[in-house]
Amino acid sequence: MTITLDDVWSLLHLPITRQFCSTENLEYEDLVEILTTLFGVDRAMACNELNQSRGGHVKLSWLRELYDSCCDNELWEFATHAYLLHLVGCTIFANKRATYVCTHYLELFRDLPSCYRYAWGVSAFVYLYEQLGDANFANTKQLVRYLPLLQVPFYITFC
């Protein structure tokens, strides 16, 4: 039994027939620029978060705090960017520890009205299969945290 794109569409209702949402890892200065532009934080705060997380990602807890702050100050566009990055970091692009999300996904939210044009289901499918490849190594102890696509076929098979 395997997972198909039809399963992604049926179970998650994520589009599978639009433009593929691909991103690239960004250089440090590009990461600082995107954080300051899309979150409205100052350069020192962006650098501090990137340095604490040791690379091209930010903590989900930092995003929650940033979202709350933006909502309190009625900075809706910045709050939307923080919410969307947190959402994909907790769902389709979740890591094993569920504590960080890669900041290069922010490129997908630079132009908010165009987010609908991406095939989010295909990205979820590809990401899951990449993680399954990593799970085959003997020293792997866990998979990514968001696995509804694996849970449903498992439930159907054994129930």
Average pLDDT score, the chain? 80
Among 54-58, 91-95, 109-113, 140-144, the range scoring the smallest mean pLDDT is 140-144
Q: Provide the residue range defining the domain that includes 31.
A: 5-158
How far apart CA 148 and CA 13 sit, in angstroms, is 12
Q: What is the pLDDT of residue 122?
A: 83
Mean pLDDT for the stretch of residues 89-116: 82
- Domains identified in the chain, total number: 1
Per-residue pLDDT for 45 more than 80?
yes
Q: What is the pLDDT of residue 151?
A: 55
Per-residue DSSP letters for 103-129? Answer: GGGGGGGSSGGGGGGB-HHHHHHHHHH
Q: What is the pLDDT of residue 155?
A: 44
For 44, the token pair is: 């020192």
